[in-house]
Amino acid sequence: MNAKTLVKLATQAIRKNKMRAALTMLGIIIGVAAVIVMVAVGYGARSRIQEQINNLGTNMIVITPGAAQASGVSQGAQAFPNLSLKDVDKIRSQSQYVAAVSPVIVSRTVVIGPAGNWRTTINGVDTDYQTIRDWQTATGDFFSADDVRSNRKVVVLGNTVAQNLFPGQDPTGTEIQIRNSVFKVTGVLAPKGQTASGSDSDDVVLIPYTTAATTLSGRTFIPQILASTANEQDIAAAQDEIRTLLRESHKIVDQGDDFTVKNQADLATAAASSTQVMTLLLAAIASISLLVGGIGIMNIMLVSVTERTREIGIRMAIGARGSDVLIQFLVESIVMGVLGGLAGLAIGVAGAKILGHFTGWETSISPLIMLVAVGFSGAVGVFFGYYPARKAAALNPIEALRYE
Amino acid sequence: MGDVVIQTSHLVKTYVTGTNEVHALRGIDLQVGRGEFVAVMGASGSGKSTLMNLLGCLDTPTDGSYQLDGVSVEGLDRNALAAIRNQKIGFVFQGFNLLARTTAIENVELPLLYDRTGRKRDTKALAIAALERVGLGSRLEHQPSELSGGQQQRVAIARALVTEPAIILADEPTGNLDTRTSVEVMALFQELNQQGITIVMVTHEPDLAAYASRIVEVRDGRIRRDEPVKNRRSAAEDLKDLGDEEEEVA
């Protein structure tokens, strides 16, 4: 018998018991649909996080005080005032791989403009910050190195702050008040959107770190140092170099680091782990469904073999070999698996579209995944159909013919 | 006999169930020549069904030898037996044994689909020719449920004929049919027999055995009687006597 005849036979047999076949395929359908949604959502979440991480800047390295825990979460890092401007200078002057470095002195306070007040984050940074974060100005300019050296009261506004203090106006060249001091606005930053954790990257104002240290906090320690390399390959080397330099600077010999150096990939991994729970859950549903679906196929095929014992006897009497019968039943369970896979694929694609619509995530399913999903359903058919098919093939034609 | 189709010598079949040994066949020597129409008779338990299974290559003997159309069958494996059944034997069963929800053509085509000799043949055309030969040219696309018992048995006979087998084995072929239809089937057998087809028919009805050319009676696993039929009846003429009613198959 050729493949066409076998598939025709299988579909005929399945059509004779439509309801039964549909219920049998349900497990496979749910399993494949779960896989498809999982892959689509996983892709959507990953690409969104990737986008947000890239938004932070290019080839960025983040140095924070305090040692990292095994899980990658630094515990109470800000409690150790052990990064200083000296460290920044050491990295700037001695590192070969670091192309740009900037301290970030963070404080939160109210800024006052002509249209009202706005509570926001003040970041005291160096000019390199613009390079590291790859953050262009929408209007005006970033403050200059001279501004930094001279402790000038200049400020670059984040898009959100600009819109709230100067609705419908370009604030460049005007002045705002930050904690009793008047700052000149040199420019407004281009919008960056949400961060990976969901906060607004544009709700910020940038001032020279020198000004921040003297005017705002009066503190000399630095909660964060950002650095970046000229290209991606240098990141690992730069991290090692920064570690060495900081250990030297902090006079650490035998103990562990009292600071943490992370790159964007580390940040991405941490952010991705949150979506992993959902992915794992869907994967568990998918594999259990496929298993249960496969057992369902095996069960129905066993019933089918018993029901069709006489048919098997007839086929054997007129010359079918055991292998002919085996292949016939195997093809039937494969067809059932593949049909279930296709139905699951359709439902999964529709489900992913709907989910994407509500979450605003970009969902994408590669043709390869579709092929794998359907192929795997067929494989489930082979695996769980083999035993019943073997049983059919091993029947004795005389007894099979006599079966009522 | 010049051209021998079936040649058995001392065919023995013993079934072992637990500690019991059942001697179904105790040594059958049977020769059937080409073109014969043999009726195998016997009460139930006589061993005729076992003989039928052995002759049909559905089972293998415990002892003895069996040559079918010049091929020794003993010692062949399942696959080889399947091939022999496919090419040399046409089965006609009591219960018709057609595939349900499958058209007459597809039922008749079935043995050709299991042909592994690699011949390229127009299986559909051969199936149609076989159905026309048994007078069912107008019922090609009908499914068994849409056919009468007699018509179903004709489809089964067409299925047996389609491979041009060395022999047709019929096991109680009229067991499920009324008298008139039974005689019609016998008429078809006689007609096919006249065209040179060898038929071995198992039956327990002496009336039907009278249409054959030779009767072999089996009792207790042995052949008790083996003789030509005297006063052989013609099914075609009997049908004329049954007469007035219209023929079922137009």
**Which of A1, A318, A320 has its CB closest to that of B91?**
A318
Interchain CB distance below 8 Å, B79 and A323: yes
Q: Of A257, A280, A313, at which residue does a domain stop?
A: A257
ipTM: 0.91
On whether both A206 and A328 belong to a single domain, the answer is no
What class is the B37-63+77-242 domain?
alpha beta
Query: Which pLDDT belongs to residue B7?
Result: 94
**Residue B48 contacts A where some CB pair is shorter than 8 Å:** no
Residue A64 lies in a domain: no
Q: Are strands B63-68 and B4-17 parallel, antiparallel or unpaired?
A: antiparallel
Please check whether residue A263 lies inside any domain of the structure: no
A8 Cβ under 8 Å from any chain B Cβ? no
* Domain final residue pick, A230, A257, A284: A257
Per the model's pLDDT, the better-predicted residue between A331 and A79 turns out to be A331
* Ordered mean pLDDT values, 10 residues apiece, chain B (250 residues): 84 90 92 94 88 92 93 89 94 90 92 86 92 92 93 95 94 89 93 94 91 94 92 88 59
Q: Does A219 share its domain with A278?
A: no
Interface subset of B 121-180, CB within 8 angstroms of A: 159, 163
CB B84 within 8 Å of CB A397: no
Shared-domain flag, residues A208 and A300: no
Condensed to tens digits (0 to 9), the pLDDT of residues A354-383 reads 888 887 777 778 888 889 888 989 999 999
List the single residue in B with minimal CA-CA distance to A397: B58
The answer to whether residue B101 neighbours chain A at the CB level (below 8 Å) is yes
User: Which tokens go with A45?
Assistant: 């979440």
Q: Per-domain residue ranges for chain B?
A: 37-63+77-242
Option in A5, A16, A319 nearest B82 (CB): A319
Say if B93 is an interface residue toward chain A (CB within 8 Å). Answer: yes
Q: Report the distance separating Cα A114 and Cα A56, nearest Å.
A: 30
B-chain residues near A315 (CB < 8 A) = 110, 114
What is the DSSP track for A330-395?
Answer: HHHHHHHHHHHHHHHHHHHHHHHHHHHHHH-------HHHHHHHHHHHHHHHHHHHHHHHHHHHT-
Same domain, A125 and A236: yes
Measured in angstroms, the CA of A300 and the nearest CA of chain B are apart by: 19
Which of A257, A288, A303 terminates a domain? The answer is A257
Residues spanned by the domain of A325: 3-51+271-402
Nearest-CB residue to B111 (from A12, A318, A321): A318
Looking at the structure, tell me whether residues A33 and A107 fall in a common domain: no
Q: Which two tokens stand for residue A19?
A: 């309801």
Number of domains in chain A: 2
Residue A246 domain flag: yes
Nearest-by-CA chain B residue for A401: B97
In the sheet with B199-203, reading across from the earlier edge strand, the strands are: B89-92, B167-171, B199-203, B37-41, B214-219, B222-228
Facing B114 at nearest CB: one of A1, A313, A401:
A1
Which residue from A1, A318, A397 is facing B159, i.e. has the nearest CB? A318
Is pLDDT at A271 greater than 80 in this prediction? no
Q: A100 and A245 share a domain?
A: yes
Q: Are residues A98 and A216 in the same domain?
A: yes
User: pTM, whole model, 2 decimals?
Assistant: 0.71
The answer on A180 and A103 residing in a single domain is yes
Q: Which amino acid is at B1?
A: M
Hunting for tokens 């066993």 — which residue is that? A302
Mean pLDDT of A142-150: 90
